[in-house]
A = this chain, B = another copy of it.
Amino acid sequence: MSLISPEVSAFHARVPAYLHRLERTTDALLPPAGADPARLHQAIRYACEGGKHLRALMVYAAGETLGVAPELLDPAACAVELIHAYSLVHDDLPGMDNDDLRRGRPTVHKAYDEATAILVGDALQTFAFEVLANAGALDAEQKVRMIRSLAHASGSLGMVGGQAVDMASENLTLSVAQLESLHGRKTGALILVTCQLAGIAARAPDAVGHALERYGKCIGLAFQIQDDVLDQVADTATLGKTAGKDQAQHKSTFPSLLGLDQARQRADALFDEAREVARSIPGNAAALLWLADHIQQRDH
């Protein structure tokens, strides 16, 4: 990835500003850490700290490609990160994956307690829809479309359904198609929706919306294959979460089904396809190209 174009690196330079916008939007929405009940509100903020914020960056990148002003993207960027944060808090619970470590720190139920973690996840989900409903820069029709898309992506036919299938698949050997379907819901749906939200903010024509969705699907699946690879080859300190979990839980993964090399090749092919789709979208694709490079190079 040494041959980065000047346009692509221009988006790279704007990343800190986008992350700052995200932080400011989230901070303005969440009640202060001292608001009553203070312990709950501290735990809510704890759950939002850290993380790579890739989903928010996808909203900003897709929006920039379509020429959308960032203030129209802030609520969507914030909302997807809140949904993502809630899903991590609940997935880590003792009744689910029972994990102690997340983003390099104790999980919410370890740092606080289990009841608080359940409530933190519940409240973060509520906030995600509240931030969209309160988005001053969007008109009511855009807000409703965003809420509908985000709800569909994160509900029982999307992320939550994928998590249910994932838990039911422990100790089973899935086919590659079944594994793709599982991850298409568990992680893919929320990654895909980032592109849809940017399209709604841009009032993009259908054809552009569909191309963005193809980009989002490629990135979502490539991201998950990479996640499986990293779970196998990276260490816990680098990941910031427990490594080797898939094997310990006897889960089917892309490396376990395809072998490590072929899994990596499949991810690379998907990143290439994403870049190709990005270049076909009318507008400045540099941001989407940067994102594909950035995700492809991650080590955690």
A152 proximal to B (CB < 8 A): yes
Q: Which residues of B contact A141 (CB under 8 A)?
A: 140
Is A130 a contact partner of B151 (Cβ separation < 8 A)?
Answer: yes
Looking at the complex, which one of B122, B130, B134, B147 makes contact with A133 (CB distance below 8 Å)? B147
Q: Which residues of B contact A139 (CB under 8 A)?
A: 140
User: A152 vs B122: C-alpha distance in the bound complex, in angstroms?
Assistant: 13
**Stretch touching chain B among A13-21, A29-37, A268-276:** A29-37
Q: Size band of the A side of the interface?
A: 35 or more
User: A90 vs B114: C-alpha distance in the bound complex, in angstroms?
Assistant: 11
User: A55 vs B95: C-alpha distance in the bound complex, in angstroms?
Assistant: 30
Is A95 a contact partner of B114 (Cβ separation < 8 A)?
Answer: yes
User: A168 vs B41: C-alpha distance in the bound complex, in angstroms?
Assistant: 14
User: A168 vs B40: C-alpha distance in the bound complex, in angstroms?
Assistant: 10
Q: Which residues of B contact A140 (CB under 8 A)?
A: 139-141, 143-144
Is B161 a contact partner of A36 (Cβ separation < 8 A)?
Answer: yes
Q: Whole-angstrom distance from the CB of A132 to the nearest CB of chain B?
A: 8
Is B133 a contact partner of A40 (Cβ separation < 8 A)?
Answer: no
A286 proximal to B (CB < 8 A): no
User: A26 vs B90: C-alpha distance in the bound complex, in angstroms?
Assistant: 25
A69 proximal to B (CB < 8 A): no
Residue of B nearest to A167 (CB): B115
A123 proximal to B (CB < 8 A): yes
Is B156 a contact partner of A126 (Cβ separation < 8 A)?
Answer: yes
Looking at the complex, which one of B90, B119, B143 makes contact with A163 (CB distance below 8 Å)? B119
A176 proximal to B (CB < 8 A): no
User: A110 vs B93: C-alpha distance in the bound complex, in angstroms?
Assistant: 17
Is A161 a contact partner of B40 (Cβ separation < 8 A)?
Answer: yes
Residue of B nearest to A152 (CB): B130
Q: Whole-angstrom distance from the CB of A36 to the nearest CB of chain B?
A: 7
User: A50 vs B36: C-alpha distance in the bound complex, in angstroms?
Assistant: 33
Looking at the complex, which one of B119, B144, B161 makes contact with A164 (CB distance below 8 Å)? B119
A125 proximal to B (CB < 8 A): yes
Q: Which residues of B contact A165 (CB under 8 A)?
A: 36-37
Q: Whole-angstrom distance from the CB of A113 to the nearest CB of chain B?
A: 8
Q: Which residues of B contact A129 (CB under 8 A)?
A: 129, 147, 151
Q: Which residues of B contact A93 (CB under 8 A)?
A: 95, 118
A250 proximal to B (CB < 8 A): no
Looking at the complex, which one of B130, B132, B156 makes contact with A41 (CB distance below 8 Å)? B156
Segment 116-157 of A: residues with Cβ below 8 Å from B: 116-119, 121-123, 125-127, 129-130, 132-134, 139-141, 143-144, 147-148, 151-152, 154-157
User: A41 vs B168: C-alpha distance in the bound complex, in angstroms?
Assistant: 14
12 contacts between A and B (CB under 8 A): A35-B157, A37-B164, A40-B161, A90-B118, A90-B119, A95-B109, A95-B117, A121-B122, A125-B126, A130-B148, A130-B151, A140-B141
